[in-house]
Structure 1
Amino acid sequence: MRPVLLIATIFFHLSVFSQKDSIYRPATLDEMFRQMDIVLSPAQIKLIRELPEDSIKKTNPYISDLTKDYDYYNDSKVVTDLEEKGIYYDDRYMLITVSYHRYLNGIDLKLDEQYRFFDSLYMGKVKRYEEALIRDSVDDKYIPLNLPDCFIELDKLLSPETKQRIKKNGVSGLHLSLGMYIRNRWQLWGGSRLKKYFLDLHGGFMHPESMSYVILKYYYQWLLGNKDAWRQWVIEQTKEKK
């Protein structure tokens, strides 16, 4: 069994013990480990005990996708305690898994050392995010500054045939094609100055899919010759914030 699948299985089983309608919910890591001893099969326990710690840590980029549907214990004490220390989501799962590996091997958990490690990871993410908010490019791809800049850039990126199809058919159905391209290229899921532009206008929170929808909606108008249609959306956002 691949390490990533093992870790996904671990947290699926943990979720069963941790749902809101269950009786028992771990309050400490030690209690969580004792439940893992019960829930996991001998083969799973053997694998995670023998798995090199470096191999566990290498699964970190995949943890969020593997466990997001099983995160049912956000209000348990063990989780809130970790969050109070600034350890969230992927890092939280990784700390629990590494700690369980050490527990199985009779190794000191060295939690303070782990807290410092994950805190440094978090601070690194924050720094990269803040830097991305002011850069005009990310991964060598230009990031538009605002809505009209998006339209100018799309004019450059899209073929004449694609633009003609949009003018003829509109943007309905483009959410998972051109919309996804926009969200990924312009870092609307991660961090970019364009994302900051939308968040600032929208009052601090706006889903990336809503951002790409606005871009597509007013790019369609742009192609039809309504070059200032986007201004109405900006005016509406400004009014809502007051």
Structure 2
Amino acid sequence: MPSPEQVATAIQTIDQLSNWLENTGLSNAAIAQFKFNALAAIYPELKEIAELAKSLIGATHSLPEEGMSVTELAALLTENLTVKIKPEQVNTALVKLGYQERNNEKRIWILTEAGSEHGISLLATSKTNKWQGSQLKWYRSVIPILEDYFRQPDNLVDVAQGINGSSPETEANNQTNNKANTKTKKAWTVAERLKEKGIKSNPDQIQLIQSFADGYYTEKHGTKPPKLTNRKIPVSSYPGEESIELIDKAIDTVLNPRKKTDAQM
């Protein structure tokens, strides 16, 4: 067992480190748990005592719920409001509501006094890098408040503009430009057509679509479509605006087989 002097020195060092955590908005209970964890890390012989102390802290500072991240809130709001809500839009809403503030220097969100009624600040460690700091978790009590926020007309406009990073008018202009590009483009690949249509697919699906498109092209023109050079995997390039119809037919064959079956019935 460590001597009282050794324990006192360790506690003094831990207290100095804990002072840094006080500025992150962590609760006193979370900081106290950090202290006991740190003490047990320095002196494993004191682990059982530290666990007893942490159990007492947990019993007297129990949380009514685990809390949700802004990503989880965004998913829930998207489902409830039937409009796409992004995590960054939730963060913006929480700032405007006065529930959190941004510390850009430390790259963390800080819970405000008003926000403490609907959330908690916890110590978190990244699984992908060495970052460690406070992470805010939000209780379910904030959900109806956020729903009311996003139902306001002005905020709905912000959401609509944030979906694609542009306003509805700009998006309409982009669609018009895409149509113009479709008419002027001399040749198409399956991947290019999928991207323009906004369809997500994996490499296996692209290869299968290409095989069907090759077949439709050969059937119509009596020859196979040209291939792009300098490609490890052969990629077909379908020339002419009329080839778009063949590619779309191949896409439907692979990704919408039910559509083809319904048409045959």
Give the structure-2-normalised TM-score. Answer: 0.28
Structure 1 or 2, whichever has the larger Rg, is: 2
Give the structure-1-normalised TM-score. Answer: 0.30
Q: Which has the higher helix share?
A: 1
Q: Which has the higher strand share?
A: 2
